Structures are given as C-alpha cells and as structure tokens.
Structure 1
Amino acid sequence: MPESNKSQHPENASGERILDARSLRGLAHPLRIRLLKSLRHDGPATASQLAERLGESSGATSYHLRQLAAHGFVEDDPGRGKGRERWWKALHNGTSFAEDLHTSADPETRGAADLFLHEIASIHTQELATWIGTRHDWPEPWSTSGDLSDFTLNLTAAQLYELNEKLHAVVETYRTAAPAETGDAAQVRLHLHSFPRSNPPR
C-alpha cells in the first residue's frame, strides 16, 4: 500500500481535511470516524490500543485503519514502537465539507453525508453526557467553566452563514493562543450547532 502524503489532500487554513465525495465515502463508517477522532484527540496509537480504547477487536481496528490510510486520513508513525509494532497518527486537525457536498444529488454521496453527520452528532451527545456526569470530579474553576446554552434567532441564510464564520474566527484565535504559564490547561471540546427550524403550523 503506498504511503499517504498529506500534501496530496486539500485542507483549509485551519489544517482541516476538505472532504470531497470520494474521501467522504471512505470515511463514512462509524468505526472509522471514531478511530480518527481518537487519533486526533488522544494522539498516535496502535491498532491494539485503539481496540481496547473503543471496545473493538484489533482485527477490526487494523482493517479500518488501513482503509483510513488508503484515503489519506492517517499514516504510519515510524518514530514510535519497536519491532513489528505499528503506530498510527492522524494527518489533519479535523474535517470539513467541500461546498458541493451540501447540494450533491448523488444518492451514495448523500447517504454517506447523512451517516457522517449522524455519527458526529452521536459523538457530540456522548461527549456532553460524559462532561455532565463527571463535572463534579473537576476542581474549581473547571467545574463551572463549561457552557450549555442555546439561542433562538431570526436570521436569513446569509446571516446564519456570516454568524458561523465569525464564531469560527473567534475559535481560531484560541487555537493558536499559548496556554497559561501556570500549566493548568486542559483539552477543551467546543461544540457549535446552528441550523434552521420549521415553525409549527398555526
């Protein structure tokens, strides 16, 4: 199998892989999405380590890691491990959709997009539930620093797009900010959901 090359795959300024129809179909599998998430959030790992972490068999994780590599999402991390032990690492910080994926009429592409988005939504729900269930284990001020808010706004589609762009820009300023010298930084997950809702019939 040829080695993956990060430069062969388009990415945006944030280091996110831009998914086209082919790469989306290659990623749209629940275990592949979770494997990639784990490598991005928790760092390089072997197939056996990922199997234990995700409650899967090492045969399943090995197979799906090879599929992720074939589509340019992960690659070998040769600086780790000994002997035949194979370590994997993620190639990008995240993923985003190419514009045409949102309007694709191809049933296979639309199905892959639906699976991907539903799996991401499930992961968000799990992460939020974990935080709520463990927040008292964190000392002050961590236990009160999280947020669970929602807002209802009346916007045009253009305004919704503009709002999302501005929020993303704010997040980017914190991505490059240096942690405090006190060394008390932690990995923080930030979920942003914004979508139109239909008004009930009157």
Structure 2
Amino acid sequence: MPENPAAPNVRMLDARSLRGLAHPLRIRLLGALRHDGPATASRLADRFGESSGATSYHLRRLAAYGFVEDAPEHGKGRERWWRAVYDATAFDETLTLDEDPAVRGAADLFLHEIATIHTQELSTWLGNAHTWPQEWRRGADMSDFTLHLTPAQSHELIHKMHDLINSHRDLPASDDTKAVRFHTHAFPRETAGERPRRAE
C-alpha cells in the first residue's frame, strides 16, 4: 500500500513538459478537466469563449505531452471526451534559472498564469459570496501572515500545510460538501531598512 493514500497523483514538470503546458488556454483547459471532470472540446470551447477548433488543438497538444487522455467511456457517437491524467502539477523553481531562455520564458508564463487564475477565483468568490449560505461564508477564508523563518523552516512549513490539506482529500462526499479551493502562497519579502539581497 502507498505510504500516503491521500496524496494526489502529481506530475513533476521538467523543461520539455513545461514548454508543452505553458500556454494560457492549455493551463485553463487542464484545470477545468481536473476540477470538473471529463469534457469535450466543444463544451470547453463554450466555457472559455473559444472556438472548438482551438480547444481541440490545445487538448491534442496536452495529450502529446501526457497531461490529458481520451475518456472513451463518456463518448457518444463521434464525440471525443478528454480527462486529466494527473491530479496536480508540481513546479521546480530551478526551471526559472534554466540556461535556455525559452524554458525561463515558459516558467515565467506558467507562474504568472497560475497567479492570475488564483486572483480571478478569489475575485469571483468575493463577488458571489452574498449568494452563498452563511455557513459557507463562515467556511471561507482570506488571511495573510508574516513569520520570521529560515528557508529550511519555510520549506518545512509549506510541506506540513500540504500534508494537512491532503489528509482531507479522501473524506467522504455528501449532500453538504462542495469543491473547496485552497490557495497557498509563501514568499520572502524585504522589510523596511533591509538591504536588497543579491541572487547567489
């Protein structure tokens, strides 16, 4: 048995797969398949305001890089359904320092697109929170914290948070459950009076 049965099936990005994923529409198509389950190019086109030709092309490119695959059990007639292969994607920050400028550019695009998606999701929640029951408004959170940590301590805390979240992954669904999005952002910042640090 796996050591942690609740852990998601994660795809670690390397230089090649990153360049295959680093397109705004591909990132969003993959996210939709992960969050909402299998879909056709036409359904995804309607969702994102794109042509079915564009979504079909980018789904085929995602398949070529191993991110999505056919979901034939959903198909009817000539409809082609797609599903995500992995639950999540892991990013190695060394890709931002790759000697190939194309890889560095892909890393920059990927990270900024993820940040944009997080911002949009939070904005959507804030705009619609009044339509949700009070219990769910109490069950939402928008907090920030400042801690004084070493890099190793920050790394340790991040993984503890991830492990805690994953420990709730396999809880049974019920009529009261909804898909709940958790965003985690952790980064150092200079405080007033500190000298800017140079990259080593």
TM-score by length of 1: 0.88
- 2:112 equivalent among 118, 122, 125: 118
Q: Which consecutive unaligned segments of at least 5 residues does structure 1 have?
A: 1-12
Residue 200 of structure 1, CA deviation: 3.9
1:94-122, Cα deviation, whole Å (9 max, x unpaired) = 10024643542321111111100000000
Q: Which consecutive unaligned segments of at least 5 residues does structure 2 have?
A: 1-6, 195-200
Counterpart for residue 37 of structure 2: 43
Give the match's secondary structure for 2:168. helix
- Partner Cα separation in structure 2 for residue 14 and residue 77 of structure 1: 20
Counterpart for residue 156 of structure 1: 150
Greater shift in the superposed pair: 46-55 or 89-98: 89-98
The answer to whether residue 199 in structure 2 is matched with residue 199 in structure 1 is: no
- Partner Cα separation in structure 2 for residue 140 and residue 74 of structure 1: 37
1:76-102, Cα deviation, whole Å (9 max, x unpaired) = 111012121111111010100246435
- 1:109 equivalent among 91, 103, 115: 103
- 2:27 equivalent among 28, 33, 54: 33
Counterpart for residue 57 of structure 2: 63
Counterpart for residue 167 of structure 1: 161
Write the letter of the residue equivalent to 2:136: W
Distance 1:102-1:167 versus aligned 2 partners, 3 A rule: farther
The answer to whether residue 141 in structure 2 is matched with residue 147 in structure 1 is: yes
- Partner Cα separation in structure 1 for residue 17 and residue 71 of structure 2: 21
Write the letter of the residue equivalent to 2:129: R
Write the letter of the residue equivalent to 1:40: R
Give the match's secondary structure for 1:175. coil
- Partner Cα separation in structure 2 for residue 123 and residue 99 of structure 1: 19
TM-score by length of 2: 0.89
Query: RCO higher in 1 or 2 (8 Å CA, sep ≥ 6)?
Result: 2
Write the letter of the residue equivalent to 2:11: R
Q: How many residues align?
A: 188
Write the letter of the residue equivalent to 2:25: L
Counterpart for residue 132 of structure 1: 126
The CA RMSD over aligned residues, in Å, is 1.5
Give the match's secondary structure for 2:77. coil
Percent identity over the alignment is: 62
Write the letter of the residue equivalent to 2:76: K
- 1:19 equivalent among 7, 10, 13: 13
CA contact (8 A) 2:96 2:108 kept: no
- Partner Cα separation in structure 2 for residue 99 and residue 116 of structure 1: 11
Counterpart for residue 181 of structure 2: 189
